[in-house]
Amino acid sequence: TKLAVCVSVTLLLIALSQATPRTPCCTNYQIKRIPLRFLTNYTIQEDTGGCRLKAIIFTVLPNNIACGNPYEPWVITAMKAIVSRNNRRPSKTSDAIK
């Protein structure tokens, strides 16, 4: 019965690990600069945990991602532009109030 419990627990852990959505993990950097009009958002990937590369994960239209070197000038400019663009846009809730 101990073997059956171990097998059951192992199968449960496998099922749970597959059910958990995985975040993208950059393993290398995008070499070419991506035009700002295609970049919609970004997240910061630290070099801890399973991802061993510090990177900026850009959301690129339509439904793609690209990995940028956080020390590259074009990546820094793109991050600032995205923050500026998103801060100036009214949220949907403020549109409804007007």
CATH 2.40.50.40 correct for 24-97: yes
Query: Hey, where are the domains in the chain?
Result: 24-97
pLDDT band at 95; cut points 50, 70, 90: very low
Q: What is the pLDDT of residue 14?
A: 60
pLDDT band at 61; cut points 50, 70, 90: confident
Strand order in the sheet with 39-45: 39-45, 55-60, 64-68
Helix (H) or strand (E) holding 78, with range, is helix 73-88
Structure tokens at 40: 């919609």
Q: Is 0.95 surpassed by the pTM of this model?
A: no
Range name among 6-10, 24-28, 85-89 with the lowest pLDDT average: 6-10
Q: What is the pLDDT of residue 15?
A: 54
